Amino acid sequence: DTAVSQTPKYLVTQMGNDKSIKCEQNLGHDTMYWYKQDSKKFLKIMFSYNNKELIINETVPNRFSPKSPDKAHLNLHINSLELGDSAVYFCASSQDGAGGRETQYFGPGTRLLVL
Amino acid sequence: DAKTTQPPSMDCAEGRAANLPCNHSTISGNEYVYWYRQIHSQGPQYIIHGLKNNETNEMASLIITEDRKSSTLILPHATLRDTAVYYCIVKLRGAQKLVFGQGTRLTINP
């Protein structure tokens, strides 16, 4: 069973298009995240949602809009795609908890290429 | 979150113990040390975490110095599949985001 899954795995699209990436977790976790890994391999958080509520928004352009229909899903919609959006996008989830137990589990990534 | 410093790359022979160091001299009392790894552009994989005591699980051991300013991740019998980028991350208790540095690229050689 895949704990954190993302679709699609690969996405190739033209500049200016709008696209969505979906994420689902079957771990029963309360919190979900989107991270971006650019061509230099830096991995950086974009958003986090806790119980469908936006908690972290790390100065991401408002062309990026996360949507959490329920606790198990966090989708990422990107409007007016730009060349610089090409990256690998990782979804993750964790369970709230004290004591540093909020281990994050990552999905396999979505490789986005904007032409 | 405290900053961490890791060597950019390391090599280890297959079957030997791989010891990956991490400095976190500005760590505060309620910050945990986490280790993740990323194998060839897959999603980061959790390895282990600790606060001040040494920890061991089925993947690795984590040794944290008494002053908590540095730690070492030990893979006791490295295999070729352990070749990956290893990230040492310091995270405040309750904080949600992981701040990834550049990590250590560990290469296991046959």
pLDDT digits (tens, 9 = 90+) for B50-92: 999 899 999 999 999 999 999 999 999 999 999 999 999 998 8
Residue A9 has, within 13 A of its CA and on its CB side, a CA count of 4
Average pLDDT, rounded, for chain A: 90
Mutate to test the interface with B, among A43, A56, A58 (most CBs of B within 10 A): A43
Across the interface, of B42, B49, B85, the residue whose CB is closest to A108 is B42
Q: Do B94 and A98 touch (CB under 8 A)?
A: yes
Element holding A75 (H helix, E strand): strand A73-78
Element holding A13 (H helix, E strand): strand A10-13
Residues with pLDDT less than 70, chain A? 1-2, 97-101
Mutate to test the interface with B, among A39, A47, A106, A110 (most CBs of B within 10 A): A106
- Residue B23 CB partners (closer than 8 Å, separation 6+): B4, B5, B6, B69, B70
Q: Do A90 and B44 touch (CB under 8 A)?
A: yes
User: Strands of A64-70's sheet, edge to edge?
Assistant: A4-7, A19-25, A73-78, A64-70
The minimum CA-CA distance between A99 and chain B, rounded to whole Å, is 6
- pLDDT value at residue B79: 96
